[in-house]
Amino acid sequence: LVNQTGNNGQGYTYQGGAGGNDLELNQGGDGNAAQITQGGVSDPAIFPPKGHDNQTVTDDPASGSNIAFVDQIGDGGIAQISQAGNGDTAEIVQGGLSNESRIFQDAGSSGNFARSEQAGMDNLSLINQTGNGNTANVFQTTSNNNSTVNQSGTGNAATVNQ
């Protein structure tokens, strides 16, 4: 499901791998851009350059059953989800001005959950997960925050409130 309303909203989706992936991408407002990649890496030019305009696309055929959700309302936010594992869930919800959030769930991972929710202005959130059964929640409700969560291994939990 992809819904877009408003100015300059761009949504990119790519699904590969073993299938069974679910995604939802809703955008409203000014100049938002969002990308969801499941089963490999395929990023448009506004994201780190991988798999666009004659660049390499990596598709992991063993990946599948991932769930991704992006919802952006407001000015100029950027959201990116890249999933190459199995049974991973990623959610991004953004509102306000100029927020940027990225979630990467790497190949070989499974059962990870990542959520980035930003309601302030000029926030940056990055979540990297490798391994199994990791949980990361980032809530940035004020302005000018920067958060990076790196998880590897099994069963780690992290919560950031700013």
Q: Identify which has the larger pLDDT, 39 or 71.
A: 71
Q: Is the dihedral of CA 60, 85, 136, 67 positive or negative?
A: positive
Which tens digits make up the pLDDT trace of 146-162?
A: 999 999 999 999 999 99
Mean pLDDT across the chain, nearest whole number? 74
Which tens digits make up the pLDDT trace of 30-56?
A: 666 666 666 654 444 444 433 333 333
Q: Binning pLDDT at 50, 70 and 90, where does residue 124 land?
A: very high
pLDDT value at position 94? 85
Tell me what the mean pLDDT of segment 15-30 comes to. Answer: 60
